[in-house]
């Protein structure tokens, strides 16, 4: 049975039924995903002196996150005996790509295996001016939003920081986007043509219920000597874990997206049940209080278009009233169906009429083009393909 939001603690943290463990088959700790300070401690454990540990940690850090190296032997500026000591004590474990699907529209979906035999999905969406990686923060989700397929699956556990940043690393492997020998990291960054230029935490799971893992992973993604993406190119989407929102602004500094989907508490209680715990009023207040909120760094409100449920003109009018005073844009998401879903997507002219009302009120209201629908990679569809494949296997 999925955990209910009421089982989470006061600060919004949830206790998954299996505690996250770093993947370390041979019982050696995994160095991927560790914050810099912890990496430094690991260097000392491998025999580096206190004095040298910072430099060694910086070297390893750059190999891992600037060069994408996953073998100790490749770290050629470390003495051989030190590399051997590291290899003896620690692992460099990334998620393993089990399956890679390519959509007709260029979207790539990766099915990744992580420790415990669990699987998560990551989606790469190429666009004209950017390439966005949609990453997962949990296996399944504790929150049971009624229109979301992930929400029908039991939460298994939080992903570790290694598994979260690992999704970025394996995607960059697959895209061939690491600097070649002789090339400086800034050469590929400066070209302005990064294949993986943006990260959205919009895959499986509620990122603010896995705060530490998400924060540690994003720190690596933002680090100038790491993957080096600007904090403004990272968007965290939350269903509304109000007490953790300000922390996300302060400790990560990323952009925020809110899964709004309804304009009355009555309807939102049904569509996004976490609303029973933190209602629209408290959610909107937390948005107004979000650190660094400005016209340049607006909040995105996501709004899934459900036929006859939340798509009337009256909903659109209430929506613009509700978010009054918040620098915002509204992302209208056509509902992506999944087997057994209790909703249908609104008709196209209804979505356009809704967008028009929002637009006239002065808010940008892009309609999100579904990407990768043919490989079930669109919003809210993740995990369904692999689950179905498994069911078919069992049936054989
Ligand atoms: N748990 C987080 C992030 C993951 S969901 C959250 O809820 O914000 C990413 C976005 O996809 C959310 O806005 C979510 O509401 C939306 N979504 C979920 N299921 C969907 C579906 N079937 N069709 C369209 N959007 C969906
Ligand atoms: Fe979880 Fe987000 Fe899906 Fe809701 S929409 S069930 S919070 S993944």
For ligand 2, is residue 262 a contact (CB within 6 Å)? no
Within this chain, do residues 65 and 199 fall inside the same structural domain, yes or no? Answer: no
Edge-to-edge strand list for the sheet holding 198-201? 96-102, 108-114, 118-126, 131-134, 198-201, 234-238, 255-259, 299-305, 328-334
Q: Give the helix ranges, DSSP H, for 176-210.
A: 185-190
How many angstroms separate the alpha carbon of residue 378 from the centre of ligand 1? Answer: 9
For ligand 2, is residue 148 a contact (CB within 6 Å)? yes
Distance CA 269, CA 278 (A): 10
Within this chain, do residues 66 and 145 fall inside the same structural domain, yes or no? Answer: no
Cα dist from 43 to 34, 38, 59, 78, 390, whole Å = 12, 9, 11, 11, 42
- Closest ligand 2 atom, CA of 204? 8
- Closest ligand 1 atom, CA of 205? 1
How many domains, the chain? 2
Percent of the chain with pLDDT over 90: 76
Whether the predicted pLDDT of 271 surpasses 90: yes
User: What CATH number is associated with residue 55?
Assistant: 1.10.150
- Count Cα neighbours of 204 within 13 Å in the Cβ-side half-sphere: 33
How many angstroms separate the alpha carbon of residue 218 from the centre of ligand 2? Answer: 20
Whether the predicted pLDDT of 186 surpasses 90: no
pLDDT digits (tens, 9 = 90+) for 284-342: 999 999 998 999 999 999 999 999 999 999 999 999 999 999 999 999 999 998 888 99
pLDDT digits (tens, 9 = 90+) for 372-384: 877 877 666 666 4
- Give residue ranges with CB within 6 A of ligand 1: 145, 147-148, 202, 206, 237-239, 259, 302, 304, 333, 335-336, 379-380
Boundary of a domain, candidates 45, 72, 89: 89
How many angstroms separate the alpha carbon of residue 303 from the centre of ligand 1? Answer: 9
For ligand 2, is residue 206 a contact (CB within 6 Å)? yes
Whether the predicted pLDDT of 113 surpasses 80: yes
Within this chain, do residues 77 and 105 fall inside the same structural domain, yes or no? Answer: no
Q: What is the reported pLDDT for 268?
A: 98
Catalytic site positions: 121, 379
**3-state secondary structure (DSSP) of residue 317:** helix
Question: Which regions of the chain does DSSP assign to beta strands (E)?
Answer: 96-102, 108-114, 118-126, 131-134, 138-139, 157-158, 198-201, 234-238, 255-259, 299-305, 328-334
Mutate to test the pocket of ligand 2, among 5, 143, 245 (most ligand atoms within 8 A of CB): 143
Within this chain, do residues 173 and 298 fall inside the same structural domain, yes or no? Answer: yes
User: What CATH number is associated with residue 175?
Assistant: 3.20.20.70
How many angstroms separate the alpha carbon of residue 216 from the centre of ligand 2? Answer: 22
Q: What is the reported pLDDT for 189?
A: 74
Q: What is the reported pLDDT for 373?
A: 75
For ligand 2, is residue 235 a contact (CB within 6 Å)? no
User: Atom 4 in ligand 2: which residue has the minimum CA distance?
Assistant: 145
Within this chain, do residues 108 and 123 fall inside the same structural domain, yes or no? Answer: yes
- Residue 289 included in any domain: yes
pLDDT digits (tens, 9 = 90+) for 49-67: 999 999 999 999 999 999 9
Whether the predicted pLDDT of 97 surpasses 60: yes
How many angstroms separate the alpha carbon of residue 231 from the centre of ligand 2? Answer: 23
Give residue 380's domain range.
96-395
Higher pLDDT, 13 or 229: 229
How many angstroms separate the alpha carbon of residue 380 from the centre of ligand 1? Answer: 5
For ligand 2, is residue 238 a contact (CB within 6 Å)? no
Mutate to test the pocket of ligand 2, among 134, 259, 261 (most ligand atoms within 8 A of CB): 259
Within this chain, do residues 85 and 224 fall inside the same structural domain, yes or no? Answer: no
Mutate to test the pocket of ligand 2, among 206, 277, 303, 378 (most ligand atoms within 8 A of CB): 206
User: Atom 8 in ligand 1: which residue has the minimum CA distance?
Assistant: 238
Boundary of a domain, candidates 66, 89, 112: 89
* Residue 332 φ then ψ, to 5°: -85, 125
For ligand 2, is residue 145 a contact (CB within 6 Å)? yes
**Average pLDDT in the 122-148 region?**
94
Within this chain, do residues 255 and 302 fall inside the same structural domain, yes or no? Answer: yes
């Amino acid at each position: 049975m999925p955990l209910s939001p009421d089982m989470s603690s006061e600060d919004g943290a949830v206790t998954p039924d299996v505690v996250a463990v770093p993947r370390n088959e041979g019982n050696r700790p995994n160095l991927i995903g560790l914050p810099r300070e912890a990496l430094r401690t690991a260097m000392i454990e491998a025999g580096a002196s206190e004095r040298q540990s910072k430099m060694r940690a910086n070297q390893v850090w750059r190999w891992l996150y600037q060069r994408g190296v996953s073998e100790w032997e490749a770290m050629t500026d470390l003495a051989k005996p030190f590399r051997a000591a590291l290899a003896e004590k620690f692992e460099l474990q990334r998620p393993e790509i089990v399956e890679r699907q390519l959509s007709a529209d260029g979207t790539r979906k990766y099915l990744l295996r992580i420790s415990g035999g669990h699987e998560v999905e990551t989606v790469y969406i190429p666009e004209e001016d950017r390439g966005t990686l949609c990453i997962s923060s949990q296996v399944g989700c504790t929150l049971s939003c009624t229109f979301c397929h992930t929400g029908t699956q039991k939460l298994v556990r939080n992903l570790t920081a290694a598994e979260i940043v690992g999704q970025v690393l394996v995607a960059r492997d697959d895209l061939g986007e690491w600097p070649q020998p002789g090339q400086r990291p800034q050469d590929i960054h400066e070209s302005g043509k990064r294949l993986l230029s943006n990260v959205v935490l919009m895959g499986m799971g509620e990122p603010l219920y896995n705060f530490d893992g998400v924060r540690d992973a994003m720190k690596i993604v933002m680090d100038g000597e790491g993957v080096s993406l600007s904090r403004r190119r990272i968007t965290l989407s939350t269903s509304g874990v109000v007490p953790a929102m300000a922390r996300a602004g302060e400790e990560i500094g990323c952009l925020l997206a809110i899964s709004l989907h309804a304009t009355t508490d009555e309807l939102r209680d049904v569509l996004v049940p976490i609303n029973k715990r933190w209602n629209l009023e408290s959610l909107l207040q937390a948005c107004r209080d979000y650190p660094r909120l400005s016209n340049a760094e607006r909040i995105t409100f996501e709004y899934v278009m459900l036929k006859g449920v939340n798509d009337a003109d009256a909903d659109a009018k209430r929506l613009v009233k509700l978010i009054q005073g918040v620098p915002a844009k509204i992302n209208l998401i056509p509902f992506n169906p999944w087997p057994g879903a209790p909703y249908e997507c609104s008709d196209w002219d209804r979505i356009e009429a809704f967008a028009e009302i929002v637009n006239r009120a002065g808010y940008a209201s892009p309609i999100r083009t579904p990407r990768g629908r043919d490989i079930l990679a669109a919003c809210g569809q993740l995990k369904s393909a692999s689950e179905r494949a498994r069911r078919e296997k069992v049936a054989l």
